[in-house]
Amino acid sequence: MIRIVTRLAVRPKNRGKVMQNAPRLVAFFEKHGLRSEGFFENFHECEVIHLWSARDMAAYDAATVSLRNDPEFRAFAGEAAELIETERKEYWRAPAS
């Protein structure tokens, strides 16, 4: 299992709208095979953070390819991207035992 942390840096005036968009973003990602473990607001850094999980990187890659081919998602992403300053992803996994 891997975890993907997506950090969306936003301007303070856009933070509320990005948080409003979060449930719709979650629905798109889950439709294409990723699992949302929640979204959070880092109000000190003005970030909206999503935590996702996938079986492995291959499953994550397949889900994101499928997502990017979804015309509804592309329309949503085009509008939502205007509110985001930067996006940073972190990829996490538990150490092998």
Range of the domain at 30: 2-93
- Report the C-alpha gap between 83 and 97 in whole angstroms: 41
Q: What is the pLDDT of residue 43?
A: 87
- Report the C-alpha gap between 96 and 27 in whole angstroms: 31
* Joined tokens for residue 64: 């994101």
Q: What is the CATH number of the domain that holds 31?
A: 3.30.70.100
Stated pTM of the model:
0.91
Average pLDDT, the chain: 96
Q: What is the pLDDT of residue 2?
A: 97
* Count of the separate structural domains present in the chain: 1
What's the average pLDDT block by block, 10 residues per block, for the chain (97 residues)?
Answer: 97 95 97 97 94 97 97 96 96 89
